[in-house]
């Protein structure tokens, strides 16, 4: 598909972050001009620019270096659509949130409920938890002999994903014997971990996660591209949009680099005590972008030491919201509650359909005024009204606008947020790409379940303070 890059460019409106609009809590133009700010900005931009494609910034090369992989993915996806009725991703964290967000954004909102002749692809599920009731529920609705399972874990030792794999592989082998291997695709590291060894032994079709791509930055590699292609999403368009955003963000001039500007806005706000970031898209298709972003932002920026080893305990807590839905559940807090938030609105200029509001209820003027308008006008008015209400209340907010929601604009948005996160981490002088806090919980889980090599952690847990009954209400 061809995309008009000029007309499909997403844009950033940060008027409501500025003191001239928002008042005393806002950012002043002079804040962008102080010597210390200019020095930190150039250092952060240089750090990200020089890091692209190196270390754990391999994700910045994904729009440029996957031509052969994409063709393999497209051929594999074509075969899956032809031969299978169900496609199930087994994964957690970035291995699941990215595929869920892209599926929700670019497929019919009731895709699985459509007849096959309209859907043209398998029903799609992502199992991103180990709740036993959830696994049982999945097995109740799929025919396992007509299902392709995509096991996604870079390390091959992710307990949740490998638990799912063990269960599914056991069932497949019981039902299909040697043909079980034809129902599993592994997406994992090419050079390390358990899953690649299992895949080679069992003979699974395999796609590889590049070494420099961490889970929360992996949607634009086979982790996300294969599931997207299976449901007939234009993955070349996704990568084209991501490439376009990378090219748009090659300057340290804030006025020419939207991802850098939004990182700076968030950084200055965090320094000013705004420790909560609300992500509020006004499109059901973008609902799970907020979930994906929450992991990206929280896991990347929530750190307790700087790169030089100093204690810092930085980060901003992400909150997920959906316009218009959460106007009726959260906006009361945003408008009249504490001055501790930055709200990111995401709007869409042109929705992919138009629904007119018909005539009726003439005797009720407070209902009839809606007649003759469209749902499109209503959701736009609600977004602008909410933006106005929180701005009037002096609460910081900015808006990202998509001309429409398609593969190209979504690819831009994904790369925009990844770049914003990288810039923000550099401004905070932290390691944006590690996750030691997550590892502590993983290690404790391994110890509790008796994984070899975790005796010391098991002893640590045994010696932890015991819960006191006086603090438990029964």
Cite the active site residues.
Answer: 299, 328, 442
- Please state whether beta strands 396-402 and 11-13 pair in parallel, antiparallel, or not at all (unpaired): antiparallel
Cite the beta strand spans of 299-394 per DSSP E.
303-305, 311-314, 317-320, 341-348
Q: What is the separation of C-alpha 242 from the centre of its chain, rounded to a whole number of angstroms?
A: 14
- Tell me the β-bridge partners of 12: 400
SS3 40: helix
Q: What is the separation of C-alpha 156 from the centre of its chain, rounded to a whole number of angstroms?
A: 21
SS3 456: helix
What distance in Å separates the CA atoms of residue 198 and residue 165, rounded to the nearest whole number?
11
DSSP 8-state code for residue 438 = H
Q: How many CB atoms are closer than 10 A to CB 95?
A: 30
For 335, the token pair is: 């408008």
CA torsion, points 94, 99, 100, 103, in degrees to nearest 10? Answer: 160
For 428, the token pair is: 């905070």
Cβ(87)–Cβ(124) under 8 Å?
A: yes
Cβ(59)–Cβ(213) under 8 Å?
A: yes
Cβ(93)–Cβ(124) under 8 Å?
A: no
Cβ(357)–Cβ(370) under 8 Å?
A: yes
Residue 176's contacts (CB-CB under 8 Å, 6 or more residues apart) are: 145, 182, 183
Please, is 349 exposed, middle or buried when counting C-beta atoms within 10 Å of its C-beta (0-12, 13-18, 19+)? middle
Cβ(54)–Cβ(212) under 8 Å?
A: yes
Among 209, 266, 213, residue whose Cα is nearest residue 27:
266
Among 268, 273, 214, residue whose Cα is nearest residue 418:
214
Q: How many CA atoms lie within 13 Å of 417's alpha carbon, on the beta-carbon side?
A: 26
Q: What is the separation of C-alpha 72 from the centre of its chain, rounded to a whole number of angstroms?
A: 24
Among 262, 268, 219, residue whose Cα is nearest residue 10:
262
Q: What is the separation of C-alpha 387 from the centre of its chain, rounded to a whole number of angstroms?
A: 23
């Amino acid at each position: 598909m061809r995309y008009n890059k000029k007309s499909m460019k997403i844009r950033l409106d940060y008027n409501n972050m500025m003191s001239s609009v928002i008042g005393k809590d806002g950012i002043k133009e002079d804040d962008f001009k102080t010597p210390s700010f200019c020095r930190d900005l150039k250092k952060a931009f240089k750090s990200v620019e020089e890091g692209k494609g190196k270390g754990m910034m391999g994700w910045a090369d994904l729009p440029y270096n996957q031509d052969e992989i994409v063709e393999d993915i497209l051929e594999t996806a074509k075969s899956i659509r032809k031969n299978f009725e169900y496609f199930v991703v087994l994964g957690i964290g970035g291995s699941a949130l990215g595929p869920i967000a892209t599926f929700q954004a670019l497929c019919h909102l009731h895709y699985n409920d459509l007849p096959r002749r309209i859907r043209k692809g398998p029903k799609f599920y992502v199992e991103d938890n180990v709740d036993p009731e959830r696994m049982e529920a999945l097995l109740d609705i799929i025919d396992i002999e007509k299902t392709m399972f995509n096991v996604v874990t870079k390390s091959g030792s992710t307990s949740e994903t490998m638990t799912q794999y063990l269960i599914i592989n056991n069932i497949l082998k019981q039902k299909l014997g040697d043909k079980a291997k034809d129902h599993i695709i592994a997406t994992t590291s090419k050079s390390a971990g358990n899953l690649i060894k299992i895949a080679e032994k069992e003979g699974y079709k395999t796609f590889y996660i590049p070494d420099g791509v961490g889970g929360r930055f992996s949607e634009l590699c086979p982790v996300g591209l294969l599931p997207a292609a299976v449901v007939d999403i234009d993955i070349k368009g996704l990568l084209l949009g991501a490439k376009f955003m990378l090219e748009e963000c090659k300057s340290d001039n804030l006025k020419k680099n939207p991802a850098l500007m939004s990182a700076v806005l968030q950084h200055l706000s965090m320094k000013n005590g705004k420790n909560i970031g609300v992500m509020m898209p006004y499109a059901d298709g973008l609902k799970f972008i907020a979930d994906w972003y929450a992991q990206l932002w929280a896991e990347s920026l929530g750190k307790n030491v700087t790169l030089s080893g100093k204690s810092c305990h930085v980060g901003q807590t992400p909150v997920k919201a959906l316009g218009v839905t959460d106007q009726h559940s959260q906006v009361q807090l945003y408008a009249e509650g504490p001055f501790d938030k930055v709200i990111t609105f995401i709007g869409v200029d042109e929705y992919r359909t138009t629904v007119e509001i018909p005539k009726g209820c003439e005797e009720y003027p407070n209902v009839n005024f809606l007649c003759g308008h469209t749902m499109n006008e209503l959701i736009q008015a609600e977004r602008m009204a909410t933006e106005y209400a929180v701005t009037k209340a002096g609460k910081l907010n900015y808006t990202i606008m998509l001309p429409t929601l398609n593969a190209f604009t979504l690819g831009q948005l994904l790369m925009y947020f990844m770049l914003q996160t990288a810039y923000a981490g550099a401004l905070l002088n932290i390691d944006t790409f590690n996750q030691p806090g997550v590892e502590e919980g993983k290690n404790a889980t391994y110890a509790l379940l008796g994984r070899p090599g975790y005796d010391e952690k098991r002893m640590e847990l045994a010696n932890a303070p015991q819960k006191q009954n006086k603090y438990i209400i029964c």
